[in-house]
Amino acid sequence: MKKHNFSAGPSILPQAVFEKASKAVLNFEDSGLSILEISHRSKEFLNVIEKARALALEIAGLNDSYEVLFLHGGASTQFLSVPYNLLEKKAAYIDTGTWSNKALKEAQLFGNIEIIASSKADGYKYIPKNFSIPSDTDYLHITTNNTIYGTQFHHIPETNIPLVADMSSDIFSRDIDYSKFSLIYAGSQKNLGTSGSTMVLVKKAILGKVSRKIPSILDYQNQIKNESMFNTPTTFSIYVNLLVLQWIQEKGGVKALEKLNKDKAELLYNEIDRNPLVEGYAAKEDRSLMNVSFFLKDQTIQQKFDTLWQNADISGLKGHRNLGGYRASIYNAMPIESVQVLVDVLKELEKKY
């Protein structure tokens, strides 16, 4: 029996992707070879990565002034690559949680960072709204969705300086203007595929402007020149990325997914607001459509709640160790039926205790 997986990452992927990926492990497109054993230089694999690149741009609605890279080292490596490639004098960061904090700490190794807004003092419960963006900075970095606290930018800051975003936990979950961003990166393990690999969408025009020497593997221009194959790429992960991107397109793209994601989030938040035993964490206007964090008001019923959801075949509901409580991650691949199972468990909890 397949569980309802609310895990924050690695996380649920479409069932069709699990099936296709399994088949390809045994026999990739009737080639008589496993996807795990084919060369990254083979015609078959080049076809995979080219299709994935083109689809990513299509789904994002971006033209070929952008490049798509499939890199290693998760989103965390991009915390370092971004300032390596873009930071000359000063960069602006908005601090909305653990991940943006980690990103800006890496950037501080390279130069001057201005934290232009932070919600740290309030436990990262909200997205800062009133900030001004200095014009003398090389870029502004934001984390569009804060996986741990369950907040999300519902308005993308307007700025003339290059906007850089960590979209690890909400990429392709909603219909936004992706061309507002000069660089987007996303660890695969939430909405795109398997852990350890990262997709980067970068506007070529912002590159090549820093004076420092950049190590080859972290150099976006070098990766572009080598078509993400400066060294052996994460071939299987990229294949899974392609399957997920194809699934997104079949579903109707970001417009259709946004609608589904809104329906799922509304179903769960309505129950959290209604149920007297629980309370949501994030400020209402900044609530994430992807990660729903909540607490039990009475800690003494924790064991009872845990038993109820585990008996309902729910997995991965525990909150992040930094925050505690519970977190339901309802990424693109999560069906609304699974969200309904969780809502029913919350109702049952109320009835029983």
From the annotation, which residues make up the binding site for L-glutamate? 41
State yes or no: is 99 an active-site residue.
Answer: yes
Task: Give the residue ranges of the annotated binding site.
Answer: 41, 75-76, 99, 147, 166, 189, 231-232
Cβ pair 272, 292 in contact under 8 A = yes
Stretch that binds ligand PLP, among 73-81, 124-132, 156-164, 295-303 (CB under 6 A): 73-81
In the chain, % helix, strand, coil (3-state, to 5) comes to 40, 20, 40
Which amino acid does the sequence have at 64?
A: D
Stretch that binds ligand PLP, among 71-79, 88-96, 155-163, 259-267 (CB under 6 A): 71-79
Tell me whether residue 101 or residue 340 sits nearer to ligand PLP (CB atom): 101
Binding mask 74-113 toward ligand PLP (x if CB under 6 A, else -) reads xxx----------------------x--------------
Of 85, 118, 147, 237, which one interacts with ligand PLP (CB under 6 A)? 147
Does 332 contact ligand PLP by CB under 6 A? no
Does 168 contact ligand PLP by CB under 6 A? yes
User: What is the distance between the alpha carbons of residues 92 and 107, in angstroms, rounded to a whole number?
Assistant: 10
State yes or no: is 219 an active-site residue.
Answer: no
* Sequence-ordered strand ranges (E) for 144-233: 145-146, 151-152, 163-166, 183-187, 197-203
Secondary structure class of 110 (helix, strand, coil): coil
Select the residue whose beta carbon is closest to ligand PLP and give its number.
Answer: 74
Tell me whether residue 74 or residue 157 sits nearer to ligand PLP (CB atom): 74
User: What is the distance between the alpha carbons of residues 181 and 193, in angstroms, rounded to a whole number?
Assistant: 22
228 vs 50, 101, 127, 261, CA distance in Å? Answer: 11, 27, 34, 31
Q: Characterise 352 by phi-psi region: left (phi > 0), alpha (psi -120 to 50), beta (else).
A: alpha
Of 67, 106, 138, 166, which one interacts with ligand PLP (CB under 6 A)? 166
Tell me whether residue 95 or residue 166 sits nearer to ligand PLP (CB atom): 166
Does 237 contact ligand PLP by CB under 6 A? no
The H or E element containing residue 278 is strand 278-280
State yes or no: is 247 an active-site residue.
Answer: no
Tell me whether residue 287 or residue 346 sits nearer to ligand PLP (CB atom): 287
Size of the site for ligand PLP (CB under 6 A): 12
Q: Which two tokens stand for residue 295?
A: 């607490």
Q: Residue written as tokens 């149920």?
A: 275
Of 151, 169, 234, 332, which one interacts with ligand PLP (CB under 6 A)? 169
Residues 6+ apart with CB under 8 A from 281: 125, 149, 150, 293, 294, 295, 323, 325
- Kindly list the residues in this chain that would bind ligand PLP in the complex (CB under 6 A): 9, 74-76, 99, 143, 147, 166, 168-169, 187, 190
Catalytic residues: 99, 166, 190
